[in-house]
Structure 1
Amino acid sequence: MSELLHRKLERSTIGFVIAIIAAASVGGIVEIAPLFTIDETVEEAPDMRVYTPLELAGRNIYVREGCYACHSQMIRTLRDEVERYGPYSLAVESQYDRPMLWGSKRTGPDLARIGGKYSDAWHVAHLINPRDVVQESNMPAYPWLARTTLKIDDLPQHLAAQRALGVPYTEEMVENAARDAYGQAVPDSEFAAAVSQRYGAATQVSAFDGVTTQLTEMDALVAYLQVLGQLTDAASREQAAAGETAAAAN
């Protein structure tokens, strides 16, 4: 019976088109419907801050160099992942990522919580020659980052583009993007204090590549790596709450 019906359907152009539309509609509804409840699924994070201009520049370099092809930025709820990398990733932690870099390929470890795990000097050494700090590493070396001057004159346009996509950068942040990028990597400069004022006291102001006479792409990439998992402590709070609930249940 079903075979007969299938043959009739294949011979009817209009019927076959309607069947295709119906099947595609079911798949579309399954994917689209959850978006109407997105506000209920994204956690609240009042302490969430945006990327600084230097961190955003570092993120652009991270994308340019294809780092996302080998490193994911999404810790799943599996026990072994949480034990290795830290609290599982929350949707709110990526709300200002345009585009998101969750990924699924792990030639290298997940980087969602790499911020603060190692020193700036470790990251610099690792990027210049990974095998100097991780002997078995198969990661490529990026020594030119330490020699390449970071382009900052177009950072206001980068922030403006992000704001157009919904990232809450203020006009003041956009206008001062180049100065803030320089100030974050040169702690003794006249622009350093303004970075913390605009982006929060927890913002790391540091000579990321160890040199204050030149702003390099290494400064930007290390600044970005050091902020991964540090934009909000929502994940740590949720993990603590889950632990308390489990303890109470026992």
Structure 2
Amino acid sequence: MGFLGLHYRIERKTMTLAIGIIFAASIGGIVEIAPLFTIHQTVEDAPDMRVYTPLELTGRNIYIREGCYACHSQMIRTLRDEVERYGPYSLAVESKYDHPMLWGSKRTGPDLARLGGKYSDDWHVKHLINPRNVVPESVMPPYAYLARNKIRTDDLGLHLAAMRKVGVPYTDEMIANASADAYGQTTPDTPYAEGVAKRYGAATNIRAFDGVAGEPTEMDALVAYLQILGKLTDAAHKTTTAKAGE
């Protein structure tokens, strides 16, 4: 009864209880805040890190809108079975430009952190139209309507500008050409495609992701996003190679 008796006495005194609450909350606050003072030492450097193109950012927004993050995580843990199945474990720097983070907490489907380039565009399109076409045991719902929906491009500059406000280094040129770049990334044989490569790098995926030429669809955008997952930087692969050589 000693501890319980003390607890009852504290509850009867408002100031004592308030001080106790503040003390307990301070401990949790310190645990959460203290690591931020060393974040520059704990987050890896990735000089080759690039930002999402307007089309890829649109695809990411669709991924969030459709709730894909509820069944797929984007964080490979350091456990051996995860690394052997999915690839190098995830690094903090790989989520540097993700707002919000999509690490996830549940895996009804596989982790997608290293999905980029693993399958062809055609595979992704078939999978999204009807998952059972390529994975018979899949419980994922179909998203065939994405191929029919054209993406809105006139406000993409605003999306990029909003991302810049939270630290994503989009340039004025990227923001001004966001709409044209979304179109250019799906039309490789046009002058618009050259602008995409110039602003985002020659290695940027530029093609009709849904296999149909014309105005970019939501299918184009989502596939473009899926094909860049794990490809914004090679930091994870370099870290793995460096540790293997130690």
Cα distance in structure 2, aligned partners of 1:171 and 1:189: 22
- Does residue 143 of structure 1 match 2:144? yes
Count of aligned pairs between the two proteins: 245
Unpaired runs of 5+ in structure 1? 246-250
Matching residue's letter, 2:163: Q
Q: What residue in structure 1 maps to residue 119 of structure 2?
A: 118
Correspondence for 1:20: 21
Alpha-carbon RMSD: 0.9
Aligned counterpart, 2:197:
196
TM-score, length basis structure 2: 0.97
Identical residues among aligned pairs (%): 70
Q: Distance in 2 between matches of 1:23 and 1:120?
A: 52
Secondary structure of 1:235 counterpart: helix
One-letter amino acid of the counterpart of residue 109, structure 2 = G
Structure 1 residue aligned with 2:100 = 99
Q: Match of 1:59, SS?
A: helix
2-side partners of 1:5 and 1:66: how far apart? 48
CA distance in 2 between partners of 1:4 and 1:141 (Å): 60
How far apart, CA to CA, are the structure 2 residues paired with 1:219 and 1:116?
Answer: 15
Give the structure 2 partner of residue 44 of structure 1: 45
Shift of 1:6: 2.6
What amino acid is aligned across from residue 211 of structure 2 in structure 1?
G
Q: Secondary structure at the match of 1:32?
A: helix
> Aligned-pair distance for 1:43?
0.3
Alpha-carbon distance in 2 for matches of 1:239, 1:35: 25
SS in 2 for 1:191: helix
1:81 aligns with 2:75: no
Unaligned runs of 5+ in 2: none
Relative to the length of structure 1, the TM-score reads 0.96
The Cα of 1:14 is off from its aligned counterpart by 1.1
Partner in structure 2 of residue 131 of structure 1? 132
* Cα drift, residue 8 of structure 1: 2.3
Over residues 65-113 of structure 1, what are the superposed CA-to-partner deviations in whole Å (9 max), with x where a residue is unaligned? 1101111100011111101100000000000001110111101110000
Moved >3 Å (runs of 4+): 1-4
